[in-house]
Structure 1
Amino acid sequence: MIPTALIAEDEPLLAAALQAELALAWPALQVGAVVGDGASAVREAVQRRPDVLFLDIRMPGLSGLEAAAELADAWPQGPGAPPFPATVFVTAYDQYALQAFEAQAVDYLLKPVMPERLARTVLRLQQVLAQRSPARASEPLEHALTQLRALLAPAAPAQPREPLRVIQASVGNTLRLVPVDEVLVFEAADKYVRVLTASEELLIRTPLKDLLPQLDDTVFWQIHRGSVVRASAIHTVTRNEAGQLHLSLRGRPEVQAVSRLYAHHFKAM
């Protein structure tokens, strides 16, 4: 089998340079597509099912990490499903990112990509692909999900602080104070976050990624990249024929989709 790869890099010159270096370091590798944004990376990867992914961390729209999470959610599962691609993140020097990658044993390349470093990465990728078997095709996806959950987890604040108790939301010219104890759902919506209680919906400007570290994670569970729900309000969780989970909450009519990345909350299913 000829190994295949997909490159996601928004700078054409860097993408071409990586492809040229790969041709030297791994002549057998066939680069099936080169895309310039995270959404295209997800779409092309689902269609082409490459063995290897090279994802730039900073891309328009979805970042490399977010694209990997979206792809993990969209990746086929069940009998006959292909193994999840071995993934390498490509990044400019970022001490925090590199420490996070190393802590989770995630392979990465620094820009500009150096031939010696790429050669080591290629060797690791070849070893990973050689060890895969159809009987254990689901293991790469489970491993990737564990790594991605850790990498996407909100950073802990420098100083420990009390969980958020009250939400301040503007309604016209009025400032509303909503006790967090009344909130059932926080949901990202463009530049805002929707705050849903049993009786109303409000909008706040605090990004969800900034809100997450202020929430008690034993009370609120993240179920999707853009959704957090009150665990005690979960009424039912159902699995459809495709294996996707959806839940309903006491006091809300909406059905909430559960990303595969956060399905570990419901392992009993």
Structure 2
Amino acid sequence: MNDLSHPTFTVLIAEDEDMMRERLITQLKQCHPQAQIVAIAENGNDAWDLWLEHEPDVVFLDIQMPGLSGLAVAERIRARSHIVFVTAYDQHALQAFEHAALDYLLKPVTLERLEQTIKRLIERIQNTSKSASQTAENSVSKSHAEALNSIANANQTSEKKTKPKWLRASVGKQIRLIHLNDILFLQSDTKYTRVVTKDGEAYIRTALKDLIEMLDPEIFWQIHRGTVVNAHAIESAERIDSERLEVILKNCAERLTVSRSFGYLFRESN
């Protein structure tokens, strides 16, 4: 039986600075040997991929990283993991999301400060049941997103990008222009991304994780680590068992698997 005062939990650390990353790993092992570091990322894109793979209990996120920022990764994780930001920002900038994240750590992280974070985490684990977490997910996610947006605006860390309306894709020797509205889903395929429309399929060299940044998340839903679907193309979602769902599409015989991480997209709203 686990000691509730020293619970075991899984951890993902995302930090692009080598010295800071190694320092945090060492300090975490000192503060709480029961913590299981299941993944370490050096940039935001890898952090998101590793979160999908491991679904850790706690994520230590540097805010400024190559690829996705820590804020963008946190927005994708929502309330499904406890978030601890590791940042060089000052206290004033951090106030906006202080209550949304579990905690924040200012660089350089001290052992004493990390111990406070671990104590807060243990209290959260002890006081939060699974059912309470599910009930509170929507409200927590909303405040989390609002706080993250405040920080992003205050510090101007996110750049505004024009969303494309077309994708250029190879079909044999031809280059096709595919309008985003015509796409049913996109799927990772080794070094390429498979683009499926009602009229067939094509391939582009851009990786799916890079394409996601160009697409409107209100329309294009990531339902699996390697699959993004056009919400307008969804006919229904069918439950396969207690944890798995499959998406049934309009004008397409293929069924798409929904990973457990994205089941919330199809949950009935109260």
- TM bucket by the smaller chain? 0.5 to 0.7
8 Å Cα contact 1:186-1:193 kept in structure 2: yes
Aligned to 2:42: 58
CA separation of 1:208 and 1:107: change in aligned 2, threshold 3 A: farther
Amino acid at match of 1:58: E
- Matched residue SS, 1:195: strand
Amino acid at match of 2:222: Q
Instruction: Report the Cα offset of residue 65 of structure 1.
Output: 3.7
Ranges in structure 1 where 5+ consecutive residues have no aligned partner:
23-28, 39-55, 73-83
State yes or no: 1:97 paired with 2:70. Answer: yes
Aligned to 2:236: 236
Aligned to 1:18: 27
Amino acid at match of 1:17: T
Instruction: Report the Cα offset of residue 131 of structure 1.
Output: 1.5
Separation in structure 1 between the aligned mates of residue 173 and residue 25 of structure 2, nearest angstrom:
53
What do the CA deviations read for 1:225-246 (whole angstroms, capped 9, x no partner)?
Answer: 3322222221221112223221
Amino acid at match of 2:117: T
8 Å Cα contact 2:166-2:179 kept in structure 1: yes
State yes or no: 1:117 paired with 2:113. Answer: yes
Instruction: Report the Cα offset of residue 189 of structure 1.
Output: 2.2
Separation in structure 1 between the aligned mates of residue 34 and residue 107 of structure 2, nearest angstrom:
19
- Matched residue SS, 2:34: strand
Over aligned residues, Cα RMSD in angstroms?
4.1
Instruction: Report the Cα offset of residue 194 of structure 1.
Output: 0.7
Instruction: Report the Cα offset of residue 113 of structure 1.
Output: 4.2
Separation in structure 2 between the aligned mates of residue 127 and residue 178 of structure 1, nearest angstrom:
51
CA separation of 1:15 and 1:228: change in aligned 2, threshold 3 A: same
Ranges in structure 2 where 5+ consecutive residues have no aligned partner:
75-84, 86-93, 149-156
- Matched residue SS, 1:21: helix
- Matched residue SS, 1:66: helix
93-102 vs 195-204, greater mean Cα deviation: 93-102
Separation in structure 2 between the aligned mates of residue 98 and residue 259 of structure 1, nearest angstrom:
23
Separation in structure 1 between the aligned mates of residue 47 and residue 219 of structure 2, nearest angstrom:
29
Aligned to 2:34: 31
- Matched residue SS, 2:113: helix
Aligned to 2:170: 170
- Matched residue SS, 1:63: helix
Report the TM-score when normalising by structure 1: 0.63
Aligned to 1:132: 128
Report the TM-score when normalising by structure 2: 0.63
Aligned to 1:4: 8
Aligned length: 225
Amino acid at match of 2:246: H
- Matched residue SS, 1:243: coil
CA separation of 1:140 and 1:108: change in aligned 2, threshold 3 A: farther
CA separation of 1:194 and 1:109: change in aligned 2, threshold 3 A: farther
- Matched residue SS, 1:122: helix
Aligned to 2:79: none
8 Å Cα contact 1:224-1:257 kept in structure 2: yes
Instruction: Report the Cα offset of residue 186 of structure 1.
Output: 1.2
Instruction: Report the Cα offset of residue 176 of structure 1.
Output: 2.0
- Matched residue SS, 1:4: coil
Aligned to 1:267: 267
8 Å Cα contact 1:90-1:109 kept in structure 2: no
8 Å Cα contact 1:185-1:195 kept in structure 2: yes
What do the CA deviations read for 1:29-68 (whole angstroms, capped 9, x no partner)?
Answer: 4426555xx3xxxxxxxxxxxxxxxxx3438xx8344333
CA separation of 1:70 and 1:144: change in aligned 2, threshold 3 A: farther
